[in-house]
Amino acid sequence: MNTLHAIANQFAHTVTAITPLGNGLINDTYLVETPSSRFVLQRINCTVFPAPEQIMANLDTLNRHIAQKDGASVKLQIPEILKTLDNSSLYRDQSSNCWRALRFIGHTESKEAISTDGDAEQAGFALGRFHRLLSDLDPQLLHDTLPGFHIAPGYLKHYHQVMQQSDLPTDRYCAEFIVLFQHIVDDLESAKQQGLLSLRVIHGDPKLNNFLFDKHTHKIVSIIDLDTVKPGLVHYDIGDCLRSCCHSTGPVEFDLAICAALLKSYLTEADAFFTEHDYHYLYPAIRLIPFELGIRFYTDYLEGNRYFKVTEPEQNLQRAIGQFRLCASIMTQESAIKGLISQLQNNVKPTKTPARNCRE
Ligand code: ADP
Ligand code: MG
């Protein structure tokens, strides 16, 4: 704690307490108390993010963009950067670890699983509001902190290279599932290349535990963990958010009721900038993201678990099987999911008008 105190003192003269905060898997996060306030202190994981300066520049760009909008209508807080006493956004300690401080969003909690339809509605609202607030920010102003992230054809190519060299026995279910459905990996990238889907600002990791719920109202008031924000397709975020929120286990199934609640509130927000093509590519995105993650888990298993942390050697194989089963459940429900999307599209906007930006 002495070292931690010395680090916290880079951001505040007097520190009264430091306690671990949350259960994030990437950064080390602490709550720091001073006589007058509280703030979040985080050590950025520089193995995952080799350019922390770019992450901070992206966060600053986001905060400035949202600060221009009418405060009362924003309804979603982004943690503000707190500088060191000598006015830097980052502090590098003697071991070259990178530290930052963020404003603490109080009276909130993060959740690990959806427990009510209300939670799903809130997640959809928050992701949609986030995309909408940033829909008029030029994505090219942001650094790409994770090149290749969500480029599914790239993951498939890497899988083929690894598969040929791995000493581990092939898992028949995974290998056959990949062969059967590998034709879907280009769905989003080719739509992007044809200009049907455009680059926008994405969160990159919109899992449920990166939304902060107000403890009393149970409404989401903040979206955090903005290290993966970058130019991309909002479809990656939607697919990923639905993948994580609609994955019911025992047996693995894609929960259509949660999907309906989440998409409905997402589209109420996103319709402000969504085009016909954006609607059209929702189903391909919902199907692709679990397939892509399955390929990544299975490849990592074949490579000896280099990227995803494991507590036992076959954990990434089991994770891959779980994602492929989820993908299979999505494909079984294809007509119901597509029916839901067109119903929501018609309800949200009976007559489609040209896309417009959020100018709140
Ligand atoms: P990781 O990348 O490790 O997931 P996060 O930025 O998501 O790190 O932070 C981990 C946890 O710390 C969050 O799930 C949340 O509970 C808490 N947390 C992080 N930032 C804040 C903040 N600004 N205000 C309140 N709680 C926060
Ligand atoms: Mg997190």
Contact between 188 and 198 under an 8 Å Cβ cutoff? The reply is: no
Per-residue pLDDT of the chain (360 residues; tens, 9 = 90+): 569 999 999 999 999 999 999 877 778 999 999 999 999 999 998 888 889 999 999 999 999 999 999 877 889 999 999 999 999 999 999 888 999 999 999 999 999 899 999 999 999 999 999 999 999 999 999 999 889 999 999 999 999 999 999 999 999 999 999 999 999 999 999 999 999 999 999 999 999 999 999 999 999 999 999 999 999 999 999 999 999 999 998 899 999 999 999 999 999 999 999 999 999 999 999 999 999 999 999 999 999 998 888 899 999 999 999 999 999 999 999 999 999 999 999 987 654 444 444 443
104 Cβ inside 6 Å of ligand 1: yes
For residue 80, the number of C-alpha atoms closer than 13 Å in the C-beta half-sphere is 9
The CA 330 to ligand 1 mean position distance, Å, reads 30
Longest dimension (CA), the chain: 62
> What is the distance in angstroms between the CA of the first residue and the CA of the last residue of the chain?
44
Residue 2 is predicted with a pLDDT of 65
Residue 161 in tokens: 């290279």
The CA 110 to ligand 1 mean position distance, Å, reads 8
Contact between 223 and 210 under an 8 Å Cβ cutoff? The reply is: yes
Residue 27 is predicted with a pLDDT of 85
C-alpha Rg value of the chain to the nearest Å = 21
> Which of 204, 224, 208, 234 shows the shortest CA–CA distance to 121?
208
Residue carrying the six token digits 């008031």: 221
Query: Quick one: which atom of ligand 1 is closest to the CA of 209?
Result: 14
Query: Quick one: which atom of ligand 1 is closest to the CA of 102?
Result: 23
Contact between 163 and 302 under an 8 Å Cβ cutoff? The reply is: yes
**Residues 6 or more apart in contact with residue 9 via CB below 8 angstroms:** 15
- The residues pairing with 18 across neighbouring beta strands, listed in sequence order, are 32
Residue 357 is predicted with a pLDDT of 46
Task: Indicate the angle between helix axes 256-270 and 334-348, nearest 10 degrees.
Answer: 30
The CA 75 to ligand 2 mean position distance, Å, reads 20
The residue type of 313 is P
Q: What pTM was computed for the model?
A: 0.92
The CA 209 to ligand 2 mean position distance, Å, reads 6
How many other CB atoms are there within 10 angstroms of residue 22's CB atom?
17
The CA 351 to ligand 1 mean position distance, Å, reads 41
26 Cβ inside 6 Å of ligand 1: yes
Residue 55 is predicted with a pLDDT of 95
- The residues pairing with 42 across neighbouring beta strands, listed in sequence order, are 29, 100
Burial class (CB in 10 A: 0-12, 13-18, 19+), 180: exposed
49 Cβ inside 6 Å of ligand 1: no
How many other CB atoms are there within 10 angstroms of residue 33's CB atom?
17
Residue 356 is predicted with a pLDDT of 45
- The residues pairing with 248 across neighbouring beta strands, listed in sequence order, are 253
110 Cβ inside 6 Å of ligand 1: yes
Residue 353 is predicted with a pLDDT of 47
Residue 329 in tokens: 């459940």
Residue 322 is predicted with a pLDDT of 97
225 Cβ inside 6 Å of ligand 1: yes
The Cα–Cα gap between 48 and 318 comes to 23
